[in-house]
Amino acid sequence: MVPMDESGPGSSNRARVFPFLGTRRSIRCRSLCLIHPSAIRGDVTHERSTEEIQDAALGESLEGKIVAERYRVMRLLGEGGMGAVYQAEHVHIRKTVALKVLHKQMCSVPEVVARFEREAVAAGRIEHQNVAVATDFGRLQDGSFFLVLEYAAGRSLRALLQAAGVLEPRRCAHISRQIADALAAAHALAIVHRDLKPDNIMLIERDGDSDFVKVLDFGIAKVSLTDMADQPALTRIGAVFGTPDYMSPEQALGQPVDARSDLYALGILMFEMLMGSTPFEHDDPAMVLAHQVTVPAPRLPDHVPSPLASLVMALLEKDVMQRPQSAVEVVQALDRFLRGEASEPDLSGGLSLHGAPIPDKLPSAYGATALDLGKRPDPESSGQVSAVSRLGRAPVGTRSQSQALRSLLSKLDPGLAAGKTRLPLWGILAAAVALGAVFLLVTTLIAVAVVSKQDAVPVASSGVIPSLSWHPTNMPDPSRSAMRSEIERIESIAVYKRTLDDWVTLARGYSSMDQHRDSALAYRSVLQLDRSRRYDPRLLADLQRAALEPSAFSLVVNLVEGRAGLGETGVDLLWDIWHDLLKHDQPAQAETAFKKLVILSRRASKPLRVAIELHATDRCNKLMEVVSRAEKMADQRSLDRLQHIQSKTECTQEGCYPCLKKSPSLTRAMQRATSHPAPSRDKGYR
């Protein structure tokens, strides 16, 4: 199914027309780039830029033509280096469809064709109201492959989260219940999605339900089928595909993946719907994967109903045996919650919604991957063996890579190769150096597409601020030489073994020695381990100083923007940084800071949002509306701008605001700003 943006066509709307394009980081084979971020947004691969790929691959447009003797192509919806998507109409039954076409030049690459066919098979086999249906697949006269998908208007879960920030618990449960039901149908056919994320969840209007779910994009699904063994072996070794923010620990490690991996991803989705952010936020995908493997998920705040919070925490268990063992169990737990039953979720299993009993062992999709429309996998091909023994059975062409992976993991920890030990942070980073070993399938199609995050959305809070034991008075201020010795001691500790106190000491020590970039990096780790530290005056002061250093400015801004960073407090800090940059005559960085303030104003407190809008607005009519709100919300941060506006109510050559002349709102807003101090950094902006 391809969603239609009801605002109309146009290149500027493509991200909305295709919510499944994604806005988050993806690690996947470039053969999957068809209608994915790198296909449209111009991301750079390790081999060729998108522009170079397009120059070689883009063919003649099909608009206005009839293809496969039955589809009239209406218009192009999106196009990239691998293929294009069109809105089309079946000429006989007058039904609007989405037509995906693989560029002719790409059809000579077996792996690309196999993955395209995989999406067709997965979406075609799953007959469920919450799965986007594939209705046709074939080849055009010029040799290009095409896939016909369901087409409907709506928006992605990503778009909803960007607009709403967080969802009310019952709405989260309603959406999650439908996703789980769709997964139950897929898993009953031994199909594992492997790339669940908000971009791949479509919400449409149906029967009065504006949150009717359609699960999209089975392009990297694992399909445990056996009949066509001559197809390229796409997922037979420890390779990682998907999006790091939503990967299960076993998927991040390249271990066998079964239905419970999708359930972990569902837990991430539910966490994000309830909190406005994923559990593990980081600019570096390797760090995200490390946290997926080693760091327990943060607890949900008290305002999330206990049955729902317990279910999310169960889904996010690192050990697959500790998670719910089937999507059906999740559906049942969510049904109980939506009915208002007060008991904790009972994850004891039961019968499938489709009538088939849930097997004791879920079929793994790690085994045979050939495309078969009929047979179910036998136990051997279903992955009911250890990861190491499966690596030993890898095809000749991949066995050396599999052995290299197993050897690497064994050196890190003998338990890792058998999947019995969690991979530490430094292990993830070491493995990242050898991309072929952990992160990607080592083929000529290897690529890493890292898609920038969209602007962060507000994070829900329990409303209770944890007490802060970390305070400048808690740590003596040693001499410079002693501080250097302490820094060197901590630097000698493996990154994954460093404690919160170690990171705090590093951050403060670097700052005291004017190593502001290193200080900002260390504070980033502090915030990842304990977000309540965003209120600490020492942290805020050090970051404010660091922002004046050109090499650290971007890092500080990233901490302000990131959902796992400073949150609302960061906008207050950025306001002070902006004024510092103006005072220190750094106009370029000051301009950048103010642009970020405008973008992040929706996350700011009401008084700060008014101050930002006053500075960002120069049209009199718009100013009048903002000044009216300032009467009730302004604090001292608005005073300078209000005084400037008042001085311009009489028209001069320098411009004026005549609509505010003798305005009682302006007078009252100034009185309000004068009498309400701005929150202090020394008190954590609270």
Query: Which residues belong to the active site?
Result: 195
Closest CA to 155 of 329, 352, 291, 13: 13
Instruction: Identify the H or E element spanning 165.
Output: none
**Pairing status of strand 2-4 against strand 151-153:** parallel
Distance between CA 516 and CA 87 in Å, rounded? 52
Phi, psi for 256 (deg, rounded to 5): -55, 140
* Dihedral-angle region of residue 121 (phi above 0 means left; psi in -120 to 50 means alpha; beta otherwise): alpha
Distance between CA 244 and CA 412 in Å, rounded? 21
Phi, psi for 474 (deg, rounded to 5): -75, -15
* Dihedral-angle region of residue 481 (phi above 0 means left; psi in -120 to 50 means alpha; beta otherwise): alpha
Please state, in angstroms and as integers, the Cα–Cα distance from residue 624 to each residue in 401, 495, 659, following that order: 66, 53, 7
Closest CA to 215 of 242, 184, 188, 245: 184
Q: Are 5 and 16 in contact (CB under 8 A)?
A: yes
CA angle 308, 313, 315 (to 5 degrees): 95
Distance between CA 409 and CA 421 in Å, rounded? 10
For 148, the token pair is 């016909």
Q: Are 160 and 215 in contact (CB under 8 A)?
A: no
Phi, psi for 399 (deg, rounded to 5): -65, -40
Closest CA to 221 of 359, 366, 112, 349: 366
For 26, the token pair is 């993806």
Phi, psi for 98 (deg, rounded to 5): -105, 130
For 685, the token pair is 């902006």
Q: Are 45 and 75 in contact (CB under 8 A)?
A: no
Q: Is 329 exposed, middle or buried (CB count within 10 Å of its CB: 0-12, 13-18, 19+)?
A: buried
Distance between CA 258 and CA 94 in Å, rounded? 39
The two most distant CA atoms of the chain are separated, in Å, by 85
Phi, psi for 25 (deg, rounded to 5): -65, 135
Please state, in angstroms and as integers, the Cα–Cα distance from residue 488 to each residue in 484, 492, 507, following that order: 6, 6, 13
For 560, the token pair is 């302000």
Distance between CA 607 and CA 678 in Å, rounded? 8
626 CB-near residues (< 8 Å, 6+ apart):
610, 613, 614, 617
Distance between CA 87 and CA 96 in Å, rounded? 7
Distance between CA 275 and CA 284 in Å, rounded? 21
Distance between CA 541 and CA 140 in Å, rounded? 63
Phi, psi for 230 (deg, rounded to 5): -80, -5
DSSP state of 658: G
Exposure pattern of 279-306 as b/e (b: 16+ CB <10 Å)? Answer: bbbbbebbbbbbbbbbbebbebeeebbe
Beta strands in 511-553 (DSSP E): none
Q: Which residues pair with 66 in a beta bridge?
A: 72
